[in-house]
Structure 1
Amino acid sequence: MFGIPLFDLAWLAVALLAAGALTGLLAGVFGVGGGAVAVPILYELFRIVEVPEEVRMPLCVGTSLAIIIPTSIRSFNAHRAKGAVDMSILRVWAVPVVIGVIMGSFVARYAPADLFKAVFVAVAGVSAVRLLFGKDTWRFGLDMPSKPIMVVYGWIIGVLSALMGIGGGQLSNLFMTFYNRPIHQAVATSSGLGILISIPGAIGYIYAGWPRAAEFPDVVALQPPLALGYISLLGFLFIVPTSAWLAPVGARLAHRLSKRRLEVAFGIFLVLVCARFFASLVT
């Protein structure tokens, strides 16, 4: 299968299970869906199995969105059980975020591969700078903005998340901390966005990738039953079990960490993600 030795396939399966564990842990700790971990790992997997560059990155993003569905549900439930989720923010963001995801999924059907990487680098870089070097005086305001501005922010979060294959945690964490919300509350509330983003996003990437599979009939990783559009069922099946299992563990860990430790840990993590995709853009 895939034209590579059975030993290599077994190694990849183990790597995907381990990646799932790390994805779930980080999803719970940082309130993200885990896409920032899953996308780089899937990118290497699809490179090994010789998925063409033209469709490799969107296949990673679509698969990541599918993986985020169960992970974000478990992470959100764990944070909500601790009473840390601001449901009023999620209610305002629900519709514009979903609209943004649908639009981002449509763009994915026609966008060049480098666009996905560029969005990853830009968002991860800004978020990392804010978390590692930001001060309490770096604020847009002392309270959340008016509803129209919130709606615009929600739409932006939806579009960019659909192009990055993330659950919106990086973006909403950044936004909420700029408006004086504690990092723990930002993390907890962000976990709810993963549900709003991942489900319509995954459906959109199935639609976006379906015709592309016909253009690459020799690429097994794009064909049913191993894929549905831009969603790799192989990646989904191997990553989901361990990611969903460890997401609540990460959520419990997040509430034991100090505010500064959580910010520094998340910032360092984003620097690594940013560096990985920047390197692939310039090579």
Structure 2
Amino acid sequence: MSQDEKCNSCSQNTGSCSPDKCGIDKLPQNEYNNIKHVVAVMSGKGGVGKSSVSALLAVSLANQGYKVGILDADITGPSIPKMFGVSGLPEQGDNIMYAKETDKGIKIMSLNLLLENEDMPVIWRGPVIAGAVKQFWTDVAWGDIDYLVVDLPPGTGDVPLTVLQSLPLDGVIIVTSPQDLANMVVRKAVNMVKYMNIPVLGFVENMSYLNCPDCGKEIQVFGKSHADSLANTMGLRLLEKLPIDPALSELSDNGQIEKYGRELFKGLDDIINTQVTSIS
């Protein structure tokens, strides 16, 4: 299908849209913000560790000296505040909320910070959830940010579509796991991002292996890695292969993920510049 045919079949087509906007203008930054890069973390299915990758991406960038924020767009299943040990209502001003800060200065906004009890379910329909995500961009004071990481819910539904259409993304990082089923669903997510004419910066294979605590041998708990074949068939850059790490799980459960010492995601600036140039 040609790009013209895609645009003509799009339900959002206004008759004067371009492929990168798909009928919806990108939301501008508010007067409180100076955000240089926006990167979304996406997965085709749940349970692959997308929020963990989002948190590790933010921590790694902060360790490299960047000013970082995390917009938790997983409205019905937010886990970012717990990983960082952040709680309590954000400060508010006139029609503005101020993002909470972690020990390392990472700024966070999540619906769980706005609930009286973190165990309360969010029983909202898609349009309301999508509206909340937009407000985390328009109504939050993030300040000076080098990288804003957007942690998306799994799948290709309302919220991922809203973020891809409405936020000025520099690119998307895809998260998968070794199972072939996960890779099949990942391909759907990749095709969605490409359809929206947004760069895919690369992918992360999470839970790729487990280091045996006795002999150090890599155990492929979920079967043989498909990372190389996925990179070749989809033309994607493999950013990281992350192990199953009990230490990471413990730190996340205790709200101390910033203490995780593994060095990850080096050279993201170069990757963004390469991908954005290649797609333009």
TM-score (norm 1): 0.26
Name the structure with the higher helix share.
1
Tell me: higher relative CO, structure 1 or 2? Use CA pairs within 8 A at least 6 residues apart.
Answer: 1
TM-score (norm 2): 0.26
Name the structure with the higher strand share.
2
